[in-house]
Amino acid sequence: MPITQPIDFNAMVNKPTTLGGYGITDASQLSIGQTWQNVTASRALGTNYTNTTGKPILVAVRGVSPAGSTAGVNLVVSGISLPYSSAISSNPTITVAVVPNGETYSCNANGCTLGAWAELR
CA distance 92 to 29: 30
- DSSP annotation string for 18-40: SSTTTT-TGGGTTTTT--EEE-G
Can you give the pLDDT at residue 71? 76
Phi, psi of 78 (to 5 degrees): 55, 35
Can you give the pLDDT at residue 13? 61
CA distance 18 to 120: 22
Q: Per-10-residue mean pLDDT for the chain, 121 residues long?
A: 52 55 56 92 96 94 78 89 69 84 93 90 93
Question: Which H helix or E strand runs over 109?
Answer: strand 104-110
Can you give the pLDDT at residue 2? 46
The contacts of residue 48 (CB under 8 Å, 6+ apart) are 104, 105, 106
Can you give the pLDDT at residue 70? 72
pTM > 0.75: yes or no: no
Can you give the pLDDT at residue 29? 73
